[in-house]
Amino acid sequence: MKKINSILTTITLTVLLAACADNKKATTTEPSLKEIFKDDFDIGTALSADQIEEKDSIADEVIRRNFNSLTPENIMKSMHIQPEWGTYDFTPADKLVEYSQKHGMSVVGHTLIWHSQLPQFARNITSKDSLAEFFTNHINTVASRYDRKIQGWDVVNEALNEDGTMRESIFYKLLGEGYVTEAFRLTQEAAPNTELYYNDYNNEQPSKRAGCIELIKKIQDAGVRIDGVGIQGHWHVGRIPLKEIEESILEYSALGLKVMITELDVEVLPRNFQGADVNQRMTMKDDPAFNPYVDGLPDSVQQQLADDYAALFELFLKHKDKITRVTFWGVNDGQSWLNGWPVPGRTNHPLLFDREFKPKPAFYKVIEAKKN
Ligand code: XIL
């Protein structure tokens, strides 16, 4: 009886393995994003800590197949890489670099100086001297370690308000507005072989864009290097600001900078504010109207999402001489931060791969955009 059971188990396993292999075959006949756009721009994705650890083999296959640029979603942010004063945890970032080298991909470091996701000790700093010490040590230590190992750094993230004025962050308040130029100067010294970027959301919108241009000019006028500007690209279905994006690509590029779309996702759920400030929350009643697509996207929204992505990629292709990279903020819908922000526990569908890692209609429309 035992023997029969073990034979049955072996047969079941064999059948299951064959089915998995078949499934895998099915996915490998899909087009690859990085191949399709290889003459145009890099195609990136943000990787979660688990994906960097290669914990999910299906995710890993989709990543290796489609992307040639990797941004760590969280692990290089200061709260993770320097959790205590002077104590660094480089293990996940080193693993990411190793993974990228093994697969011939590049890495974008995200991010050196940002007011969010700071370690607790830094948030508690009240004196200018202590903050300047943290600022200098953090940049020197982290940027120098990854020079020649990563392609570029988001040196400063989100320094601006919506009206283009400087955000009153801890850095602005204690170090003054010159802190942005100083961050680029320090990174340039610590990582002379690494590209340096300024990154923000909504910096395609006219007022914020004007502030962003002013900020970039200050860096350039100080004789400090800045190589690129990142437009995060957290947009909303049916409301993609194509005109503003195009104007921004042209204006940023006219400053001599590479333009990058760095955190692309197209949200489908209701929202009562714009932007992507991770500290902003939306309080909502327990009303199912605020989480309408728990069982999947209706065809009309799926189609709108696909059309929006197609329009975006048509625009990116039109300006491929100015755009060096388009990075999605996550590999599939299940991973997206938009399931938890700005309202926890919703079911969002903002990316090209669904929760099962299957390409969505938007994926095929993006591929078609290239063919047209
Ligand atoms: C988000 C991550 O995706 C989340 O996992 C984390 O909890 C909060 O931060 N702008 C940025 C990114 O520059 O770093 C943010 O990432 C999304 C908005």
The CATH number given to whatever domain includes residue 296 is 3.20.20.80
Helices within the chain (DSSP H only): 2-28, 33-36, 49-52, 57-66, 78-81, 91-102, 120-123, 128-145, 170-175, 179-190, 206-221, 242-254, 299-318, 361-371
Total count of domains within the chain: 1
Answer whether residue 9 is part of any domain. no
Answer whether residue 34 is part of any domain. no
Q: Taking 80 as the threshold, does the pLDDT of residue 19 lie above it? A: no
Answer whether residue 28 is part of any domain. no
Answer whether residue 32 is part of any domain. no
Nearest CA to ligand 1 atom 12: 73
DSSP secondary structure string, 269-285?
Answer: S--SS-S--TT------
Encode pLDDT of 157-206 as tens digits. Answer: 999 999 999 999 999 999 999 999 999 999 999 999 999 999 999 999 99
Encode pLDDT of 157-170 as tens digits. Answer: 999 999 999 999 99
263 lines ligand 1 (CB under 6 A): yes
Nearest CA to ligand 1 atom 13: 157
Q: Taking 60 as the threshold, does the pLDDT of residue 123 lie above it? A: yes
Answer whether residue 56 is part of any domain. yes
Q: What is the mean pLDDT of residues 12-17?
A: 40
Q: Taking 90 as the threshold, does the pLDDT of residue 274 lie above it? A: no
224 lines ligand 1 (CB under 6 A): no
Task: Give distance in angstroms: CA of 11 to centre of ligand 1.
Answer: 45
Nearest CA to ligand 1 atom 9: 278
276 lines ligand 1 (CB under 6 A): yes
Answer whether residue 191 is part of any domain. yes
Ligand 1 nearest atom to the CA of residue 158, by list position: 13
Task: State the residue range of the domain holding 340.
Answer: 40-266+281-371
| Catalytic residue list | 158, 263
DSSP secondary structure string, 208-262?
Answer: HHHHHHHHHHHHHHTT----EEEE--EEETT---HHHHHHHHHHHHHTT-EEEEE
Ligand 1 nearest atom to the CA of residue 157, by list position: 13
> Structure pTM?
0.92
Answer whether residue 6 is part of any domain. no
Q: Which residues lie closer than 8 Å to 219 by C-beta, 6 or more apart?
A: 180, 181, 184, 198, 226
Answer whether residue 248 is part of any domain. yes
Helix, strand or coil, per DSSP, at residue 266 = strand
Task: Give distance in angstroms: CA of 314 to centre of ligand 1.
Answer: 26
